[in-house]
Structure 1
Amino acid sequence: MAAVDLTSSSADATPTADATPSGADTASTTGAPTLIGSVQRAMRLLEAAASHLHGAPAKQLAREAGLALPTAYHLLRTLTHEGYLRRDKGLFVLGEAAERLGNSGAQQSRRGTIREALDHWRDTIGVPVYFAMYREGEIELVSVADTPGNPAVEEWADFRETGHAHAIGQCLLAQLDDAARQDHLDRYPVQSITRYSVRDDRTFMRRLDAMGRMRPVVERQEYALGTVCAAIPITVGDTAATLAISVPACQADRLLPAAQRLQSELGKLLGTLAFSISI
């Protein structure tokens, strides 16, 4: 909204009963906070429009926002020009710019909720915790919780392109059907990452078949030397997701107990993670 200059131009050019008194758009001599009247009025119009799913005419929005009709017309014209409103058969509805703002806020809220959950289990179990999804044909690492003392694996090779080599990718691809797996490998063929990683597509497909769709996955130094990882599958609707952890190879005896503990507590996290699928 900051990019829209509502404090000048035609938005306040016509004097009305609702016009801001001289000096109201500048800091007062009493030191009170500066209030930009035209921005306030525009926000009231947006709030009024948002309350009508199928839109409302200018007169109704002006009345609900407590604005004189000429002022409302000026602001509605500006908001429509900037994409915050859209006019359809004389009715004003929220436009794409306003929807983007709403989606961005919801996304940040959801990601914050996921991060809080991961932070909790990072501190409880004492290992880095990862949450990833397979969406629109890509491996997406949504959030990671680690500490300086227990750092996450460094993404030295693009996670999206090396799903065959790390536990996150193996766990996600194992949840897909054969056609989706093959489509992924057509775009991201198997390549040697370390001396422990699988060498070719056919061998990798056989491995996925042997894993089963909803079995935990353990990967030992296939993506990063000196690191072992485990991933737990999560499926919500048609979306494949996973929670994963990692530990240094020299502490490999911690991996399975930590993964088992996380899996046993997964029910407490599932609602939060399922909510994130819509991100």
Structure 2
Amino acid sequence: MSNGASSRSSHPTIIQSVARASQILARVAAQDDGLTASEVAQAMDLSLPTTYHLLTTLATEGLLYKDSGRRYVLGPAAEFIADAVNRNLAIPDYYKGPLQRLAAQTSETAYLSAWRRSKVQILAIVEGSQAVSVVGLAAGAVGNEHARATGKLLLAHARSEIRDEVLGADPFAPLTEHTTTARIELEAEFERILQQGFAVDREEFAPGVSCLAVPIRSQSVVVAALTVSAPSDRFDRNFDQYMEAALSASESAALGIP
């Protein structure tokens, strides 16, 4: 009997309707102009009646709103939740472990960053055994998104209006001779980032230092990023190792594995 109880406790109960509602919210959040009921049904392989029930419930709770074009967008309650996330600078435990492992496996400085108050902010830093500190990159630092691997990664996955708000008008500040200063070039790089799944900066933020950033996803939405920073010669020599470690850490963070 004790074995049965132990077995049951190791497999938490998942309420399907709640899971589906959460997935709908994530899908709607990922779209600039929301989704119609039929688009949600098709994307999630649900019947239209089931889809309408879920959407109506979410709309009633203020998490979604149906606009004049009959498209569902995030509602005021979702904005309240997003604002709370933006104000919270605490690092969840399920991000700390992957970040620490990334620094230990690469022996380099590892960063955790996310959107906070419309800026890409460094939330935590862990130094590896041979880490090199970079002036201007500390916990809480924001700005210069156009020159940072993390900034470029999160901007690539952001909505167009967020890009406009963060980047403003070009030319951008040339922090080094390698910094991209033209919006059209940066937009082309965003497309490459979306295709390849990672971002790099090669001495664009600081001379002699290169960085690799990979996304952390919740459902299909990019919610944060992990970054490895290293001297450029070591970065080029160990790039494959850094990539493997970063992707492993990102997967653990996405799964909530401490």
TM-score class, shorter: 0.5 to 0.7
Partner of 2:212: 230
CA pair 177-162 structure 1, distance change in 2 beyond 3 A: same
1:248 aligns with 2:236: no
1:175 aligns with 2:164: no
Partner of 1:126: 107
CA-CA distance at 1:226 after TM superposition: 0.6
CA pair 155-194 structure 1, distance change in 2 beyond 3 A: same
Q: How does 1:26-41 map to 2 (within 5 A)?
A: none
RMSD between superposed Cα atoms in Å: 3.1
Instruction: Give the conservation status (yes or no) of the 8 Å contact 1:197–1:223.
Output: yes
Gapped regions of structure 2 (runs ≥ 5): 1-84
Partner SS state of residue 212, structure 1: helix
2-side partners of 1:192 and 1:239: how far apart? 27
TM-score, normalisation: structure 2: 0.56
Q: 2:248 aligns with which of 264, 271, 275?
A: 264
Partner SS state of residue 96, structure 2: helix
1-side partners of 2:253 and 2:189: how far apart? 29
Higher-RCO chain (CA-CA 8 Å, sequence separation at least 6):
2
Residues 103-146 of structure 1, C-alpha deviations (whole Å, 9 max, x = no match): 9xx975x4565334322221123221111002331111111100
Residues 163-213 of structure 1, C-alpha deviations (whole Å, 9 max, x = no match): 000101111101112222112112896211100010222221222133227
Instruction: Give the conservation status (yes or no) of the 8 Å contact 2:94–2:253.
Output: no
Q: 1:165 aligns with which of 143, 147, 170?
A: 147
Greater alpha carbon shift after TM alignment, 165-174 vs 154-163:
154-163
CA pair 163-220 structure 1, distance change in 2 beyond 3 A: same
Gapped regions of structure 1 (runs ≥ 5): 1-102
Amino acid at match of 1:140: Q
CA pair 133-265 structure 1, distance change in 2 beyond 3 A: closer
Q: 2:127 aligns with which of 146, 163, 185?
A: 146
Corresponding residue pairs, total: 169
2-side partners of 1:267 and 1:114: how far apart? 11
Partner of 1:184: 166
1-side partners of 2:146 and 2:96: how far apart? 26
Residues 237-257 of structure 1, C-alpha deviations (whole Å, 9 max, x = no match): 655311110111121211232
Instruction: Give the conservation status (yes or no) of the 8 Å contact 1:134–1:239.
Output: no
Instruction: Give the conservation status (yes or no) of the 8 Å contact 1:122–1:128.
Output: yes
Q: How does 1:199-214 map to 2 (within 5 A)?
A: 199-212=181-194
Instruction: Give the conservation status (yes or no) of the 8 Å contact 2:98–2:249.
Output: no
Partner SS state of residue 114, structure 1: helix
1-side partners of 2:144 and 2:156: how far apart? 14
CA pair 242-189 structure 1, distance change in 2 beyond 3 A: farther
CA pair 204-159 structure 1, distance change in 2 beyond 3 A: farther
Partner SS state of residue 227, structure 2: strand
TM-score, normalisation: structure 1: 0.52
Larger Rg: 1
Q: 2:98 aligns with which of 114, 117, 121?
A: 117
CA pair 259-125 structure 1, distance change in 2 beyond 3 A: same
Instruction: Give the conservation status (yes or no) of the 8 Å contact 1:197–1:221.
Output: yes
